[in-house]
Amino acid sequence: MWLLVGLGNPGPDYARTRHNIGFMAVDTIVRRHSFGPWRSRFQGETAEGTIGTERVLALKPATFMNLSGQAVAAASRFLKIPPSAILVLHDELDLAPGRVRVKCGGGAGGHNGLKSIDSHLGPEYHRLRLGIGHPGDKDRVTGYVLSAFAKVDEDWRPALLDAVAETIPLLLGGDETGFLNRVALQTRPPKPRADRPAPPAPAETTAAPAPASPGGVLAEALRAALSKPSSKD
């Protein structure tokens, strides 16, 4: 059994923030794979289902981000799920918006949710890092992650969440490379079509003949009259 953990902060005030993209990803997975209803359990909200051949418990901790490890540890210990079968989905400042990476173990990289999980279970669990970009100044990080996604982010955010939900069976089945390749393919901007017909060339126009001047008309009439044969013998 897999424990699929989305990180975020509870409540409507945080629902659209960048820090909650882990919640958003798990919500999309639960809908896509027709999990059972959400219910309160393990200091969070849980839903059960199947992805491919794997039984999965999805968890959104109801503690705030800094205490996420309490909920993850409660579920892990009660259900006897080892860290090797835990996948945590979280926001990642060090990845460009819309990019994803997978890793197992390693440091928390300053992420308070990961720090909390590390303190309860150690670092040897899987992480799906969902890129949200960096504001460019470390002093702006807190305000940035706790702000709602901007309108421009809608160019990539829904596509990323849908791609992760569709291809998550590959990741849980051990095909990390296949998962990353499929997500990249599905979130890549479409290329211009080479078979589109070229725009029609502008129609050729024929210049109208210039009107004859009055003098020219009279001269032509005189030449015609003089060239006629005489009727007299």
Q: What is the mean pLDDT of residues 181-197?
A: 76
> What is the percent of the chain where pLDDT is above 70?
81
> What is the percent of the chain where pLDDT is above 90?
79
77 vs 26: CA distance, rounded Å: 21
Q: Is-contact 13 35, C-beta < 8 A?
A: no
| pLDDT tens digits, 118-132 | 999 999 999 999 999
pLDDT score for 233:
44
| pLDDT tens digits, 193-206 | 555 555 665 555 55
- Provide the b/e sequence for 184-200 (b: ≥16 CB within 10 Å): eeebeeeeeeeeeeeee
Identify the weakest region by mean pLDDT among 90-94, 171-175, 227-231.
Answer: 227-231
| Phi-psi sector, 122: left (phi>0), alpha (psi -120 to 50), beta | left
120 vs 163: CA distance, rounded Å: 31
Q: Give the type of residue at 138.
A: K
41 vs 146: CA distance, rounded Å: 26
Q: How many CB atoms lie within 10 A of CB 204?
A: 5
User: In the chain, what are the domain boundaries?
Assistant: 2-187
Q: Residue 87: in which H helix or E strand, if any?
A: strand 86-92
pLDDT score for 188:
85
Q: According to DSSP H, which parts of the chain are helical?
A: 21-32, 68-79, 112-121, 141-145, 157-172, 176-187, 214-227
The fold of 2-187 is Rossmann fold (3.40.50)
8 vs 14: CA distance, rounded Å: 8
> The pTM is what?
0.80
Confidence grade of residue 160 (pLDDT, cut at 50, 70, 90): very high
Confidence grade of residue 232 (pLDDT, cut at 50, 70, 90): very low
Residues identified as active-site: 19
| pLDDT tens digits, 8-32 | 999 999 999 999 999 999 999 999 9
Name, in order, each residue with C-beta under 8 angstroms of 147's C-beta and a sequence gap of 6 or more. Answer: 17, 18
